[in-house]
Amino acid sequence: MKLYERCANDIAELIRNNTLRPGDRLPSVREASAARGVSRSTVFQAYYLLETRGLIEARSRSGYYVKVHRLPVKFSAPEDSTPACVSRDVDIGHLVFDLLGLAGRRDFVPLGSAFLSPSLCPLTRLARHLWTEMRDFDPWRLIEDLAPGNEALRRNLVLRYMTDGIAVNPAEIVLTNGAMEALNLCLRAVTRPGDIVAVESPTFYGALQAIERLHLRAVEVATAPDRGIDINALAAALEQHRVAACWLMPNFQNPLGSLMPEDRKKALVELLASKEIPLIEDDVYGELYFTEKKPPPAKAFDTQGLVMHCGSFSKSLAPGYRVGWVAGGRFAKKIEQLRLMYTISPAIPSEAAIAAYLDQGSYDRHLRRMRQALTGYQAIAIDAVQEHFPHGTLMALPKGGYFLWIEMPSAVDALQLQTLACKRGISLAPGPLFSSDRRFRQCLRLNYGHGGDPRFVPALRAVGELAKLVMDESRGVAGGSGAPPQQDRTIRPAA
Amino acid sequence: MKLYERCANDIAELIRNNTLRPGDRLPSVREASAARGVSRSTVFQAYYLLETRGLIEARSRSGYYVKVHRLPVKFSAPEDSTPACVSRDVDIGHLVFDLLGLAGRRDFVPLGSAFLSPSLCPLTRLARHLWTEMRDFDPWRLIEDLAPGNEALRRNLVLRYMTDGIAVNPAEIVLTNGAMEALNLCLRAVTRPGDIVAVESPTFYGALQAIERLHLRAVEVATAPDRGIDINALAAALEQHRVAACWLMPNFQNPLGSLMPEDRKKALVELLASKEIPLIEDDVYGELYFTEKKPPPAKAFDTQGLVMHCGSFSKSLAPGYRVGWVAGGRFAKKIEQLRLMYTISPAIPSEAAIAAYLDQGSYDRHLRRMRQALTGYQAIAIDAVQEHFPHGTLMALPKGGYFLWIEMPSAVDALQLQTLACKRGISLAPGPLFSSDRRFRQCLRLNYGHGGDPRFVPALRAVGELAKLVMDESRGVAGGSGAPPQQDRTIRPAA
């Protein structure tokens, strides 16, 4: 770590433990330089870094101050489990494809995108690994590596699990074309058409689409933005339905950003084990934590081999390389066979380059940089939402990932907002994308992974203003009809 | 084309049109040099090339001779359509996974493999393209290229179709993780569980597995090693069953190696158009033709957008890069959406490197070299089978690809043969892999794509000897029980 980074971290710690409070003036560059015995440029760099991370702000002609965050109102878990606990056929196709269509357009500000800014990733170094690995690649390995897949990469993954205190057998690791394929294969491995799958509410649209495509039915279970899925509600759903599998995101859930506490994860795994129900664990954001320690996946508590833990390098290292994996527990063999029949293998150059990168040992350093950037982006996003969105807008404060789930006043229709934002060159992911019956109409998932984009804050401001507009218009109409669309609310803030 | 290649081609033509006959002595190098007015080294190179291609042979101290091929007995189309024309559930899983497990083992001679020898491909040049393309790749393209996919690559594909006289709209091209994904997506795009799909008999096990996995049913239609699927039999099957789609390989069918004549392809497309039945066309071996002209795909005759033409670079350029495509006709949008939900995209570095290779314009030169090598390997394989396999073994003479389908005397059980060969370090693909009810018990698909491997001919000899052994033993037993397993024969040689 460089000197200015250490210096910035010291100050960040003082802010975190409230020694420096919001609004406090920091020592001037000259003072700090003298006090710490470092050069002025080091102090400058440190302050600049803290500014980027959203922790301090420069006020012109006056110096640096600890930034005032109006503390966001947190959601609580819903008091009553509001998703109607019935299994449903799913159909959210068009909303999703519209969104994906915009994701690739560089003239759009990607607030609705599911992708992180690729500029955070070490793309040139990966490219160099592509060349050095493939220039004299043993041709035979182009066949040999198809199954079970690049050995060095699988070994690295097992070592990373081990470092996290999780015992995973190398034979359990199946490499896939990104986590999307891993999740799809897992779902197929443990279900047959007509089966019921339990998911969070709201949930990742990819899960809903996979369920639709495999002719399965979804049961949505109440989930709180701060603590994740409600274990009691899940237990009740398991009593009521013959659930064939659960598809959940205990770490930094998409779209909520929720993180399940460890004891909840343990209770979840034990509940499912008692009924022999497999858990498909989507953990693609697990490395992007802002907490002190890396949160363990539910897999860490699995003693029965029932948890299929799905990860990916797409969000954290190598977007577009399409390499993910699953530690498939007792289903690993089945999953691998399905992959052989479907795509045969991930791209062998991609696997080889990532394996070489991991071998070099700089992945963790890269992840630290990335988390630092995202922490800052989150602060920027929270600030902008608080400043520009309608009064009464609520949001959770995710401890990782790059999504912010916000709930606007019920008069705001997110689908209408999306249409308006689209005309201004801004993509949005409206709440109805995340349930099979289009609830969460006043919610948005905001991607702050592009927080370094100069268009980011202006776009948030524009959306906030549009939301106010929609709200005013809607209230005019609702006042006339006397029917405010309250019945759509499914997650209520605690009183 | 170089002078020696032209020279070799002239001689090859003389052999082909029977001016030079098997056993004829060629002019000496000196004579030919004088007669053609070219240098001796040019003649040497031409003779060497012809030898590689299996057309002539050097006899020590005596000169060059046109090679004596005992002409292989060709199959004819079955007189009576023998696959029981019923739709079936499919289950061939274990046979296939056993085979795939061996494909990656370098201590095995891969006669049963579905893969070509990767050493035929320009791997170092592709690696260089990986580096030059990705080292300063516009990061935004890592998102932009996800859908509809690398523009340069799609443009190159459209141009290649155009060169072949086929009009394909760029929007019709969907890039996929190899042809396997393309085929699977097509099948899913046009079927629902319970639907019936018509396939060739025998057919590629990947098709049978996909049908099984999607809970579909297969109708197998009589197919001749020289002319492909029997159109009348197909018409009858379509009368008898509500067929939702056909999955066929008009060019160099796997496992038969059969090539449908153009008029048959046209008739096929017209028959299906008259009933609005979509055709999934697997054309992964189409570039590996030994004929004068590249055979057109069925897609060339499609006027309704009902043909989904699937291709791949895995067999002809970049094994392990996992890039294929489908020209999806009227189903293209649906196919692309399915891909977005399943794997999102092929690996972007793989796409970029292949696009750069195609842009350079040397793909066709590479393909010529590859076809030349495969022609020679085929000759070697045919020779070895004729010399070492039991009397009465039949085989077709494929005009492309790298599979030889052989039918041994009915007393030989290919599954038993496979077990024995496996113990000798040789993989085999036995006939029962290629049907849903394990017919073709006395058949084998032999891969001659590794014909440059010094272990290749010895392995064929070993298998031939094992086959004789099995036959002798079986005849002893059959003689005792009085029940020769004749009823398994489903393709009969013409009288």
| Residues of chain A found within 8 Å of residue B97, distances taken between Cβ atoms | 337, 340
Residue A310: inside a domain: yes
Residue A82: inside a domain: no
CB contact under 8 A, B146 and A103: yes
CB contact under 8 A, A213 and B341: yes
Q: What local confidence, expressed as pLDDT, does residue B17 receive? A: 61
Whether B263 has a pLDDT exceeding 50, the answer reads yes
Query: pLDDT (tens digit, 9 = 90+) per residue, B433-461?
Result: 999 888 899 999 999 999 999 999 999 99
Whether A78 has a pLDDT exceeding 70, the answer reads no
Among A136-145, A350-359, B123-132, the least confident range? A136-145
Shared-domain flag, residues B398 and B292: no
**CA dist., res. B126 & res. B350, Å (int):** 9
Candidates B130, B213, B215; nearest CB to A341: B213
Furthest-apart CA atoms within chain A: distance in Å: 74
Q: What is the mean pLDDT of residues A26-31?
A: 85
Whether A84 has a pLDDT exceeding 90, the answer reads no
Candidates B123, B127, B146; nearest CB to A131: B127
Q: What local confidence, expressed as pLDDT, does residue B62 receive? A: 77
Among A399-403, B52-56, B449-453, the least confident range? B52-56
Query: pLDDT (tens digit, 9 = 90+) per residue, B335-390?
Result: 999 999 999 999 999 999 999 999 999 899 999 999 999 999 999 999 999 999 99
Q: What local confidence, expressed as pLDDT, does residue B403 receive? A: 97
Q: Return the higher-pLDDT residue of A58 and A172.
A: A172
| Minimal CA separation from B349 to chain A, in Å | 7
Shared-domain flag, residues A299 and A409: no
Shared-domain flag, residues B109 and B228: no
CB contact under 8 A, A340 and B184: no
CB contact under 8 A, A143 and B103: yes
Q: What local confidence, expressed as pLDDT, does residue B21 receive? A: 74
| Residues of chain A found within 8 Å of residue B342, distances taken between Cβ atoms | 180-181, 184, 342
Going from the C-alpha of A20 to that of each of A14, A475, B154, the distances in angstroms are 6, 43, 57
Q: What is the mean pLDDT of residues A108-128?
A: 94
What residues contact residue B339 under an 8 Å CB cut-off, 6+ apart? B174, B176, B181, B185, B345
Shared-domain flag, residues A41 and A145: no
CB contact under 8 A, A215 and B209: no
Candidates B100, B184, B348; nearest CB to A342: B184
| Residues of chain B found within 8 Å of residue A181, distances taken between Cβ atoms | 342-343
Q: What local confidence, expressed as pLDDT, does residue B51 receive? A: 81
| Residues of chain A found within 8 Å of residue B348, distances taken between Cβ atoms | 320-322
Name the residue with tokens 């032209």.
Answer: B6
* pLDDT class of B22 with cuts at 50, 70, 90: confident
Among A68-72, A176-180, A211-215, the least confident range? A68-72
Whether B184 has a pLDDT exceeding 80, the answer reads yes
Shared-domain flag, residues A431 and A462: yes
ipTM of the complex: 0.82
* pLDDT class of A276 with cuts at 50, 70, 90: very high
Q: What one-character DSSP code corresponds to residue A296?
A: P
**CA dist., res. B142 & res. B348, Å (int):** 7
Q: What are the beta bridge partners of residue B445? A: B405, B429
DSSP A330-352: GGHHHHHHHHHHHTSSS-HHHHH
Whether B73 has a pLDDT exceeding 80, the answer reads no
Give the pairing of strands A394-395 and A403-407.
antiparallel
Among A118-122, B46-50, B150-154, the least confident range? B46-50
Q: What local confidence, expressed as pLDDT, does residue B81 receive? A: 35
Whether A27 has a pLDDT exceeding 60, the answer reads yes
| Minimal CA separation from B124 to chain A, in Å | 5
Q: Residue B118: which of B100, B97, B104, B132 has the closest Cα?
A: B104
CB contact under 8 A, B135 and A113: no
Whether B72 has a pLDDT exceeding 50, the answer reads no
| Residues of chain A found within 8 Å of residue B344, distances taken between Cβ atoms | 177-178, 180, 322
* pLDDT class of A490 with cuts at 50, 70, 90: very low
* pLDDT class of B80 with cuts at 50, 70, 90: very low
Q: How many residues does chain A have?
A: 495
Whether B488 has a pLDDT exceeding 50, the answer reads no
Chain A residue with minimum CA distance to B115 = A143
Domain CATH for B45: 1.10.10.10
Provide the mean pLDDT of chain B. 88
Task: Supply the Cα-derived Rg of chain B in whole angstroms.
Answer: 23
| Residues of chain A found within 8 Å of residue B324, distances taken between Cβ atoms | none
**CA dist., res. A239 & res. A248, Å (int):** 18
Assign 3-state DSSP to chain A and report helix, strand, coil percentages, each to 5.
Answer: 45, 15, 40
Q: What local confidence, expressed as pLDDT, does residue A281 receive? A: 98
Domain CATH for B220: 3.40.640.10
Top residue of B348, B351, B354, B427 to mutate, by most chain A CBs within 10 Å, is: B348
- What proportion of chain B, given as a percentage, has pLDDT over 70? 90
What residues contact residue A362 under an 8 Å CB cut-off, 6+ apart? none
Candidates A93, A137, A347; nearest CB to B123: A137
CB contact under 8 A, B320 and A103: no
- Interface contacts (A, B; CB < 8 Å): 199
Q: What local confidence, expressed as pLDDT, does residue B467 receive? A: 97
Among A258-262, A487-491, B466-470, the least confident range? A487-491
Residue A23: inside a domain: yes
Residue B483 belongs to domain spanning: 93-118+365-488
Q: What is the mean pLDDT of residues B57-84?
A: 57
Candidates B104, B134, B343; nearest CB to A180: B343
Shared-domain flag, residues B105 and B217: no
| Residues of chain B found within 8 Å of residue A351, distances taken between Cβ atoms | none
* pLDDT class of B148 with cuts at 50, 70, 90: confident
* pLDDT class of B69 with cuts at 50, 70, 90: low
Whether B490 has a pLDDT exceeding 50, the answer reads no
| Residues of chain A found within 8 Å of residue B133, distances taken between Cβ atoms | 127
Shared-domain flag, residues A338 and A439: no
Residue B493: inside a domain: no
Q: What local confidence, expressed as pLDDT, does residue A69 receive? A: 55
Among A76-80, B87-91, B203-207, the least confident range? A76-80
* pLDDT class of A474 with cuts at 50, 70, 90: confident
| Minimal CA separation from A152 to chain B, in Å | 16
**CA dist., res. A188 & res. A135, Å (int):** 37
Top residue of A91, A133, A136, A142 to mutate, by most chain B CBs within 10 Å, is: A142
Q: What one-character DSSP code corresponds to residue A108?
A: S
Q: What is the mean pLDDT of residues B254-269?
A: 97
Measure CA A310 to chain center.
13
Shared-domain flag, residues B272 and B146: yes
Q: What local confidence, expressed as pLDDT, does residue A54 receive? A: 73
Q: What local confidence, expressed as pLDDT, does residue B458 receive? A: 96
Q: What local confidence, expressed as pLDDT, does residue A429 receive? A: 95
Whether B489 has a pLDDT exceeding 90, the answer reads no
* pLDDT class of B8 with cuts at 50, 70, 90: confident
Q: What local confidence, expressed as pLDDT, does residue B146 receive? A: 87
Q: What is the mean pLDDT of residues A386-407?
A: 93
Q: How many domains does chain B have?
A: 3
Q: What local confidence, expressed as pLDDT, does residue A90 receive? A: 56
CB contact under 8 A, A115 and B145: no
Q: What is the mean pLDDT of residues B414-425?
A: 94
Residue A73: inside a domain: no
Top residue of B102, B130, B187 to mutate, by most chain A CBs within 10 Å, is: B130
Shared-domain flag, residues A317 and A185: yes
* pLDDT class of A481 with cuts at 50, 70, 90: very low
- What proportion of chain A, given as a percentage, has pLDDT over 90? 68
Task: Supply the Cα-derived Rg of chain A in whole angstroms.
Answer: 23
Provide the mean pLDDT of chain A. 88
| Minimal CA separation from B182 to chain A, in Å | 9
Give the pairing of strands A324-327 and A394-395.
unpaired
Among A200-214, A370-384, B39-53, B133-147, the least confident range? B39-53
Chain B residue with minimum CA distance to A216 = B193
Chain B residue with minimum CA distance to A212 = B341
CB contact under 8 A, A118 and B142: yes
Candidates B104, B135, B350; nearest CB to A349: B350
Among A51-55, A380-384, B219-223, B378-382, the least confident range? A51-55
Domain CATH for A434: 3.90.1150.10
**CA dist., res. B264 & res. B267, Å (int):** 5
**3-class DSSP assignment, residue B6:** helix
Furthest-apart CA atoms within chain B: distance in Å: 74
Q: Give whichever of A47-61, A194-208, B50-64 has the largest mean pLDDT.
A: A194-208
Domain boundary among A338, A363, A388: A363
CB contact under 8 A, A349 and B117: no
Name the residue with tokens 């023998």.
Answer: B82
Shared-domain flag, residues B277 and B377: no
Shared-domain flag, residues A429 and A381: yes
Residue B81: inside a domain: no
* pLDDT class of B84 with cuts at 50, 70, 90: low
**CA dist., res. A245 & res. A346, Å (int):** 25
Shared-domain flag, residues B144 and B42: no
Q: What are the beta bridge partners of residue A307? A: A279
Chain B residue with minimum CA distance to A322 = B347
Q: Which helix (H) or strand (E) holds A449?
A: none
Q: How many residues does chain B have?
A: 495
Among A237-251, A478-492, B252-266, the least confident range? A478-492
Domain boundary among A337, A363, A389: A363
Chain B residue with minimum CA distance to A188 = B213
Q: Note whether A381 and A211 are within 8 A (CB).
A: no
Q: Return the higher-pLDDT residue of A60 and A101.
A: A101
Chain B residue with minimum CA distance to A132 = B127
| Minimal CA separation from B150 to chain A, in Å | 12
